[in-house]
Structure 1
Amino acid sequence: MALFDLLYSFGVRMKEGTEFLAYGREILLGWVRQYAGSPDRSFSVLDVGCGKGADLLNIKTAGFHQADLFGIETYPPNQQICDAAGIKIFGVNIEEQPLPLPDHGLDIIIANQILEHCKELFFVFSEFSRVLKPGGLLLVGVPNLAAYHDRIALLLGRQPTCIKVLGPHIRGFTASGLRQFADCEGYFRMTDRRGCGFYPFPVFLSRLLSRLFPTFSTSIHLCFERTDKPGTFDSVLKSRHFETPFKS
């Protein structure tokens, strides 16, 4: 068995039980708390690719009962779970259809472990810029292409685990790369960056290492603020030429 295969098998065994850290749910809730301030404040949150509504329900459980909770989800069983929990669900394809929400009406958008699945990133961010209020937050969590374990994979000439060719992820992000993309036309401004998870170490050590070395973490979470710049993010496609056609 090749060295990489031995290391990979060992890492998989070691990381068992730590996968939940990569979702950064405590980090997201902390940013929501900072934005909302008082639990009595009324504000709106959209979770794009919300699954069973975990991040939205964390907000509700934390006592923000005045928050209007919306989710984008296309898998019917998850839609039913969210409906039963009081989350308003929209079953739209975010790469093809506009978000069914008015301009500048949302306070917070959560996009946690979803952007790595999207080719039409310019259209997705254009819709984010359209529906967020100036001063509203875009909370993004993605697998980290520069994670400690994936740096080792690349060093050994192997495909990074966060963007397998035979897999669902079609984009890879580093913290600096994602910031450069979101900030490029001035519609968003990064205000905070955190790391979460640190394969293949146990939970207590993963928490420590991800705080000390966030850019080596399994996942990266970035908080962006919507600026007051008019227009939408798809203006990027008008000012730059790409050799791949993108939806605008």
Structure 2
Amino acid sequence: MTTTAQLPKELRDFYEDPAVPVASGASRSLRQARMLAAALGTGKAHTILDIGCGDGTAAATAAPLLKGHRIVGVDWSQDALKRARAHLTYAIRGELTGEGLPFGTGSADAVLFSEVIEHLVDPDAALDEIRRVLRPGGHLMLSTPNLAAWYNRALLLAGVQPVFSEVSLRAIHGRPGTEVVGHLRLYTARALREFVGAAGFEVVRVEGAPFHGVPRPLRPLDRLACARPSLASILLLHARRT
């Protein structure tokens, strides 16, 4: 999760806090890894950048499905990188804006961009930098919470603040849940497709993934909703650099 796009100091301090959640669960990581493994195919080693790798647990979960490929964790937080190095062979400090990522143009075959874009002040600049480091035809695997998740539609009808949205970094106000996670941007499936397409990518497909924070009695319904990405908790987008 942890990356920066000209963040004010308060947000930087917030994302440096090890208690801030860094991913939506192992199910999302595994589904995303399967999508990427199928896109990369077999027979050649590829370089995969996990941008906003956080503590590295999501990449470690995906690694068994991406054997033979080199996964490089990238984060701006030194604390996150220290923890990530327990899971990843390569973990490098880098930013999406300002100095930019420490990689040459067209040097990466794929980018994992998981639970990051919703935290960015300037997501447009972030996708520009990702496009720069990807080779033509390279793969972008992006995941983010779905503003139009099935339960958010019901909550809005009841006048309740949607899950994943936040009005404060200090406390939860007006929505279910107990964790403040620092979301600044939220996307529907349609908005995400259009946004990524406008940034110079060809969207291949969008899939859905469940959210670990859904109450246990509702989890079977949450898994069923994955069949229709527009209703799923988490959006998994696969795009190719044009």
- TM-score, structure 1 length as denominator? 0.75
Whole-angstrom distance in 2 between the partners of 1:35 and 1:73 = 24
8 A contact 1:214–1:220 mirrored in 2: yes
Q: Aligned ranges for residues 126-137 of structure 1 at < 5 Å?
A: 126-137=128-139
Among 183, 188, 202, the residue aligned to 1:169: 183
Aligned to 2:20: none
The 3-state SS of whatever aligns with 1:139 is strand
User: Is the aligned partner of 1:207 residue 2:240?
Assistant: no
Whole-angstrom distance in 2 between the partners of 1:123 and 1:63 = 28
Aligned to 2:142: 140
Q: Cα deviations across residues 133-159 of structure 1 (Å, max 9, x unaligned)?
A: 111111110010101121122212232
Whole-angstrom distance in 2 between the partners of 1:139 and 1:51 = 16
8 A contact 1:107–1:137 mirrored in 2: yes
Structure 2 vs 1, CA of residues 100 and 117 (structure 1 numbering), >3 Å: closer, same or farther? same
Q: Cα deviations across residues 95-141 of structure 1 (Å, max 9, x unaligned)?
A: 43311100011111011111000011111011011010111111110
Among 46, 50, 69, the residue aligned to 1:47: 50
Q: Cα deviations across residues 205-227 of structure 1 (Å, max 9, x unaligned)?
A: 4322312x221111111101111
8 A contact 1:41–1:64 mirrored in 2: no
Whole-angstrom distance in 2 between the partners of 1:115 and 1:99 = 16
Among 195, 203, 213, the residue aligned to 2:208: 195
Aligned to 1:235: none
Aligned to 1:242: none
Instruction: Please tell me the residue identity of whatever aligns with 1:172.
Output: L
The 3-state SS of whatever aligns with 2:25 is helix
Aligned to 2:29: 25
Instruction: Please tell me the residue identity of whatever aligns with 1:28.
Output: Q
Shift of 1:184: 1.8
Among 192, 195, 199, the residue aligned to 1:181: 195
8 A contact 2:33–2:66 mirrored in 1: no
Unaligned ranges ≥5, structure 2: 1-23, 170-181
Unaligned ranges ≥5, structure 1: 1-18, 228-248
Among 32, 35, 39, the residue aligned to 2:39: 35
Whole-angstrom distance in 1 between the partners of 2:66 and 2:31 = 16
Whole-angstrom distance in 1 between the partners of 2:225 and 2:62 = 26
The 3-state SS of whatever aligns with 1:166 is coil
**Greater fraction of residues in helix:** 1
Whole-angstrom distance in 2 between the partners of 1:69 and 1:47 = 7
Shift of 1:161: 2.0
Aligned to 1:237: none
8 A contact 1:72–1:90 mirrored in 2: yes
Instruction: Please tell me the residue identity of whatever aligns with 1:52.
Output: D
Among 120, 124, 127, the residue aligned to 1:125: 127
8 A contact 1:95–1:118 mirrored in 2: no
User: Is the aligned partner of 1:61 residue 2:68?
Assistant: no
Whole-angstrom distance in 2 between the partners of 1:96 and 1:156 = 42
